[in-house]
Amino acid sequence: MSYFRLIERLISSATGDPPLKGIRVIEFAHYILGPNIPRLLAQLGAEVIKIEPPPRGDRWKYASMWGGKGFYKGMRIDYLYLNSNKYFLGVDFKKERGRKLIVELAKTADVFVENMEPGTLDRYGLGYLQLKEVNPKLIYVSASGYGNWGPLSRLPSYDIIGQAESGVIDTTGWEGEVQEAYRLPDYPGDWLPSTMAVSAIIAALIWREKSGKGQYIDLSQAASMQRHMYHFAYMSATGERLRRSGFIDPSAYFSGVFKTSDGRYVAVAAMTEAQYEALAEQVPGLKGLRDKRDLDSLFVKYKLASPWFSSKSLAELLEFGRRAGVPIQPVLNDEDVLKDPWRAERGSVLKINDRLYGEIVVPGPIVKMSGTPLSVKWVARPVGYHNKLILLKKIGLSEREVEELEREGIIGYWDGQLGNTPPPGWSPENDPVFKGEKDEVEP
């Protein structure tokens, strides 16, 4: 059996418990930066309880894209998968009894994640300084634009602000001919820093095993994005600014994105001498230019090659790339990604049958593990959907206590607006999970 078949068998036969099974995470977060941290922990097997003040909760669920598009069966599409595998608890933390309920939850938690404005939860007695007194082993994560101290710490930040403040936007676009810079789409200013936070949490869990102590993790969105950059180090060493490079990889002998004769686009990267020479055998004008690798020369090579690429169809270019050993791949659009058999095989594009929202396509778990399979089991729920399940089954309150919390407005539910509602036709009387009788993962 080949190496590749063995690896495929290892991954497909994984049957162990997920690596973070038994870890409880309390989330008090909104938008993307904060909620994505528990989402990834939940995929690794952690139990995540997302706390929201009723009835509106996390404001991201209401944000419309392109004039009201982007909703599915009453919920925002990306909110559904951004908050997958989570339990939803609606608690009014501004009321003392609601605050105490969260404190009791924190006593049982391993990790607490928040991305409120710095200092907000501390003012309500739910900051790290208060919760570490009741749970010294707690790992408390604060995610914000600029961290929780320093001259910028009180300023708000979102994805585009993080991209700007970190220097990312200044690296985009072309130099010289078109003096423009661009925001990278789809919120990398949230996704990338939140992924880095997961690494810190796992490190803190390992350290807790050795020391018996929890700790505070302060995540800055702008500083995290900056960690993906080397431009400031280059400036420090040379006194010069790295120029914008557009489609071109400044570390390659040749690279770029080209339009084909049939209206598609391909990306090309010749990173080795052999790859460049194979390309130069076919592309007029490239011979003898291999070692000219300053940015101006790379642009010259890009322009020289453009007519040849535009004269070939996508299929012709892909065949040439495979035959010559030159990395050439199509620029995929959303439909291509959705229908790509490789992504379906790996589970990168995953179709699940959610108990409430039915068949839905979501991004699959970010990695594959041979001993501990990861999964997306269900998608987001409206505010307070799991109130009874959490309080009755996971915390151990009585039905009388839960009813009292409801009467006093300590716990509550969704408002029914677009973005915060169960799917059409949903009935509370016929939903055992909503009534606290069954868990999401029970048959």
Q: What is the pLDDT of residues 380-402, one digit of tens each?
A: 999 999 999 999 999 999 999 99
Q: Within a 10 A sphere around the Cβ of 67, how many other Cβ atoms?
A: 6
Same structural domain for residues 32 and 134? Answer: yes
DSSP assignment string, 152-201 = TTTS---HHHHHHHHTTGGGSSBSSSSB---PPSS-HHHHHHHHHHHHHH
Domain end residue (candidates: 308, 333, 358):
333
Check: CB of residue 241 under 8 Å from CB of residue 170.
no
Task: Let me know if residue 136 belongs to a domain.
Answer: yes
In this structure, the answer to whether residues 161 and 260 fall within a common structural domain is no
| Residue 132 sits in the same domain as residue 207 | yes
Tokens representing residue 139 in the block: 């790992």
Does residue 415 fall inside a structural domain?
Answer: yes
> Per DSSP, what are the bridge partners of residue 256?
268
Domain end (from 274, 306, 333): 333
Whole-angstrom distance, CA of residue 119 vs CA of residue 268: 48
Q: Are residues 179 and 107 in the same domain?
A: yes
**258 within some domain:** yes
Statement to judge: residues 288 and 213 lie in one domain: no
For helices 188-211 and 36-43, the axis angle rounded to 10 degrees is: 60
Say whether both 195 and 297 belong to one domain: no
Same-domain status, 197 and 263: no
Which residue among 299, 333, 367 closes a domain? 333
Domain that holds residue 263: 254-333
| Inside any domain, residue 240 | no
Q: What integer pLDDT is reported at residue 126 of this predicted model?
A: 98
- In total, the chain counts a number of residues equal to 443
**Are 99 and 146 in the same domain?**
yes
Is 22 a domain residue? yes
> Which CATH number belongs to the domain containing residue 275 in this structure?
3.30.1540.10
Same domain for 192 and 144? yes
How far is CA 306 from each of CA 268, 302, 316, rounded to the nearest angstrom?
11, 6, 15
CATH number for the domain spanning 156: value is: 3.40.50.10540
367 and 318 within one domain:
no
* Domain assignment of residue 16, yes or no: yes
Q: Do the Cβ atoms of 102 and 27 come closer than 8 Å?
A: no
DSSP class of residue 65 equals: B
| Residue 24 · residue 111 · CB < 8 Å | yes
Provide the 3-class DSSP secondary structure of residue 324: helix
Tens digit of pLDDT at every position of the chain (443 positions): 799 999 989 888 888 899 999 999 999 999 999 999 999 999 999 999 999 999 999 999 998 777 777 899 999 999 999 999 999 999 999 999 999 999 999 999 999 999 999 999 999 999 999 999 999 999 999 999 999 999 988 888 999 999 998 888 888 888 776 667 888 888 989 999 999 999 999 999 999 999 999 999 999 999 888 888 888 888 899 998 888 888 899 999 999 999 999 999 999 999 999 999 999 999 999 999 999 998 889 999 999 999 999 999 999 999 999 999 999 999 999 999 999 999 998 999 999 999 999 999 999 998 899 999 899 999 999 999 999 999 999 999 999 999 999 999 999 999 999 999 999 999 999 999 999 999 998 75
| One domain for residues 313 and 398 | no
> Is residue 137 a part of any domain in this protein?
yes
Cα angle: 70, vertex 113, 21; to 5 degrees: 95
Number of domains in the chain: 2
What per-residue string of b and e applies to 220-237 under the rule 16 or more CB within 10 Å gives b? bbbbbbbeeeeeeeeeee
Q: What is the pLDDT of residue 304?
A: 96
Cα–Cα distance, 50 to 61 (Å, whole number): 14
Residue 57 lies in a domain: yes
Nearest-angstrom CA–CA distance, 315 and 256: 18
Question: Are 133 and 216 within one domain?
Answer: yes
Tokens of 274: 């052999």
Q: Residues 209, 210, 216, CA angle at the centre, nearest 5°?
A: 70
pLDDT of residue 178: 64
Write the Ramachandran bin of 260: left for phi over 0, alpha for psi from -120 to 50, otherwise beta: beta
